[in-house]
Amino acid sequence: MVYSGPHVSGPRFGNYELLDRIAVGGMAQLWSARRVNAADASPPTVVLKRLLPHLAQEPRLVRMFLGEARRLARLHHPNIVRVLECGEVDGDYYIALEHVPGRDLAQLLDRLVRGGPPPPGLGAAIVRDLCRALAHVHDADEGPSLVHRDVNPANIMVGLTGEVKLLDFGIAKQLIDSLDPTTRSGLLRGKLGYLAPEAIDGAEIDARVDQFAAGIVLHELLTGRRLFAGRNDMQTMGLVRAARVSPPSDVNPLVPPALDRICMQALARDPQARFDSCATMAKQLGEVTETLAWSAAQTAALVRERFAGQDERELSHTQRAAPSRRPMQRGAVALGCIAIAVAVAVGPRLLHRAGRRAEVEKAAPPPPAAASVTLLVRSIPTAAMVTLDGSGHPPGRTPLTFVMPRRSAPVRVHVAASGYRDAEVTVTPSENRELSVTLLPAPRPPDHRQGPTRKPAPTRKLSPGRPTGVGAPIDPFSEP
């Protein structure tokens, strides 16, 4: 990626220069960064995933965070964002990821559906590449098979040259349950509208949950509307659990029968009725893509067309929350036809008045930006106490929505729950946003009835035999 305009130096973080903070989640912060004085052929711009400070205080979680990063670094595939290195800077643990200029699929879909459902070839091509990436993940040779568990449009990058990349494996999020096995029951990972029924039911999951999520993404690309979107979380989970799905061609007649069949098989409620692997699904989607004569160049053209006027700095590897997609409804089309018929019937005088009114509205200045924004705070566990420092808002329990004046100054969000360690996250209320915070279990006092506590094992260095000064990277291909 090449930034337009003069480069402005940012704060240093070890061997990196921080450029922009992309997002803050329940486990980590994402930053775009530039490697300083790189002597090798590594990309000058990367994305840094930094473990939140309160999570970095848990040694076991840190070991899992870095260990899983090393494992993912071995996944070399053109449709997976690469892990470049992982390391530590003054107790701040990070993973450096490949930077992909482009847009995530959630943002792209928001622009695409404004003109109706996207072309079927686009959906077939994007999900074909997504399934190729998932097949590579599931078939990893070393150790037990990985399961992504968080496949959704925000975790799929579509690049400026039409490439498709799977990202954000939720490295620490997938492993946090093992800190305290008693917290496993009832916890759902991944966005609710992209879970599989067996995940909602609490059954044993495997790679087929990723295939079901890929089917949801395909259905939404073919129809231009959300598949499982209830008025609240409970209703959404009920829709997923029932998994009653109509073929995409019911909404978009341009979808060919072969694409209907692939989508419906991936969305089978019974995991046994789905494809035997994501590789098989990818192969069949590839055949449809060839039949529809869709190419990466067409995907790239759509990305550039929908985001015309934005320079390449904006078209970056981001995971900002995309605006909510309002699906096109058939009823809206019918109402439009009725309105046209009424306009013709009432004669030219009414049309003339409407035209004059439209001219006045066009000449009027645009409305000012909203003076207030909303911050939705969720947590694991739920019903945690949330305090917003210096805002004047009374504390409350999650899930909790704050309404506050739009501003650029950051505010501190403090989250606490009995039996868990407190967490504090800093956010800037410049736009509507959702914040998800995962609390770690508090240390349990020793049980003196079971005899004296054993001495803790001696601390091991992160990278034996290598320098561990500020910014010392950890070789992702070496074991701790």
DSSP state for residue 9 in the 8-state scheme:
-
Torsion angle, CA of 165/103/197/129, rounded to 10 degrees? -30
Phi-psi region of 152 (alpha: psi -120 to 50; beta: other; left: phi over 0): beta
Q: In the annotation, is 150 catalytic?
A: yes
CB 46 within 8 A of CB 33: yes
Q: Mapping DSSP to helix (H, G, I), strand (E, B) and coil, where does residue 164 land?
A: strand
Distances (CA, A) of 335 to 32, 81, 339: 45, 44, 6
CB 43 within 8 A of CB 189: no
Q: Mapping DSSP to helix (H, G, I), strand (E, B) and coil, where does residue 314 land?
A: coil
Tokens of 249: 């061609």
φ, ψ for residue 338 (rounded to 5)? -65, -40
Tokens of 472: 């010392």
Nearest to 84 by CA among 131, 16, 136, 28: 16
Task: Exactly one of 104, 129, 150, 260 is catalytic; name it.
Answer: 150
CB 153 within 8 A of CB 221: no
Spatial distance between the Cα atoms of 321 and 374, rounded to a whole number of angstroms: 13
Tokens of 167: 């990202």
Spatial distance between the Cα atoms of 59 and 475, rounded to a whole number of angstroms: 19
DSSP 184-243: -TT---S-GGG--HHHHTT----THHHHHHHHHHHHHHHHSS-SS--SSHHHHHHHHHH-
Tokens of 464: 């034996």
CB 81 within 8 A of CB 157: yes
CB 377 within 8 A of CB 387: no
Q: Which residues are catalytic?
A: 150
